[in-house]
Structure 1
Amino acid sequence: MMVKELIEKRVISFSVKTQAINYAESHKILNHEVPLPLTHFFDRLAQVESFSQDEFNAFFAELAALEKSHAALHDFFIGLVKAMAVSYYLSIESTINNLIQQIETNVQQGLPLPVRRDSDWQPFLPLLNYLLLTQEPRLQLLHSTPSMDFPGQTPYANQIIQYDLVFAFNALALCHAFLTHPSYQQWDLMKPILPPGYKKTTKNMTNRNEYYPYKKMFKIHAGRVGDTFFYATNGKKIRCTKLQSRRYFNPDKGNNLPSHP
């Protein structure tokens, strides 16, 4: 499969597709052959399939082999992973927003949280895959691009990758969507995760590790540089909680996601 065929097959957004083609043309990789292992990886990533840690490591090994020989191709594949993650989130956004609304309504009325059916975790396997990939330190561009240009992502897309994928997982975990599938690649699916770059909730919250951040407050208090405020719930109360950012961010630490050596 050629790069141009991979773009046609895997990039849904028209604007991103146009940018990806322009990037591939300008770097003379549009007619480049995609390594067969990467073709298979992207085919599976687009499906509802689980991956082993070894399979993820094999993907990153393929990327590493391109770092010196073909940096533009390396960055293209990273941009494609992120574009696919954003497209996937947009496909489940209305479901997640409805679930968050149910959670808030039930908590405010003192009712138990809604419970997802035992089989409901399976359609969200891609969410787990995209979380593991996008929060992995090895998924880094070799060359920076303007924020609006592929393989970089728009600010809107980066918000989805940094926050919305996390909040979608937390909303599902709150409603026991993963109860019959409690772990994935050594990742405890019964625990909340934090947006990448944040290490803990505010110190004065009782049992703060039981609270799941599920929605961002788009309001930063004066003087609170480096802190971001979120709504979080333990299923009984909803709190506005402050998450403290790391000065030096290592994405695979402090967020309950497994690291991949």
Structure 2
Amino acid sequence: MCRLFGHVGTTHTTVSQVLGQDNDAFTALSGRHKDGWGLVGLERNGITRRGDTFAARDSLDYEAAARTLSSSGLLMHYRLASPGTPVIQENLHPFEATITGVGPVAFAHNGHVFDVPALRGLVAQHSDAPLRGTTDSESYAQLVFALMQQMGPERALSTAASMVQDVTDVVALNAILLTPTHLHALQWVEPTPRGDGFPSAPNPDLFAMRMRRSGGGVTVTSNEWEPTTLDWDEMPDRRVLSCERTA
């Protein structure tokens, strides 16, 4: 299980500015989701990236990155490694690609896939891109990126999730896809997930996502923290939320 944060808006901003008085509460999630963090700011001409394999709250670089990495499109991930998956730089999200006709894109996932060989077999039918790491999430990302060569990002994200669900049981396929023009977010949660490989069956309630619209843009996050304001809404399940960025 991991935690996600995405934001698109009308002006350049930082994670700390977007979260405001909730910044400490969100950062505290990295006490549990402790196996590294990654943060990108995405512009039409490229991606700026920060991250390391420490818990965000313990990282010397995290506080500075959350305060200073400024963009109108931000995507951040706190990692809790799936059982048996190493804590290495290559396994950090977000995953990145450059898509013809779209430009630079970034993807982060929260969830778990049980049959990774089946997932990789599915991806191999659509992409021959090499893997940089060992996570199921990177294979999911590669499938989304491959489908984006044939269809729009919103449809690619929903189609990829359906295809993965067809070949393997999952805990969740929650994802945020950031492009030069949009943020696309998907909550996809299995209501009764398998528990093999885990100390106990994962709680599907911990995979719910929420979103907030404000004058400055749209923010999407994982749950497990309590906002100080009431302007957050629950995300619908198995539907892609697409938000245009205007800066």
For normalisation by structure 1, the TM-score amounts to 0.28
Q: Which has the higher contact order (CA 8 A, sep 6+)?
A: 2
* Higher relative helix content: 1
Higher CA-based Rg: 1
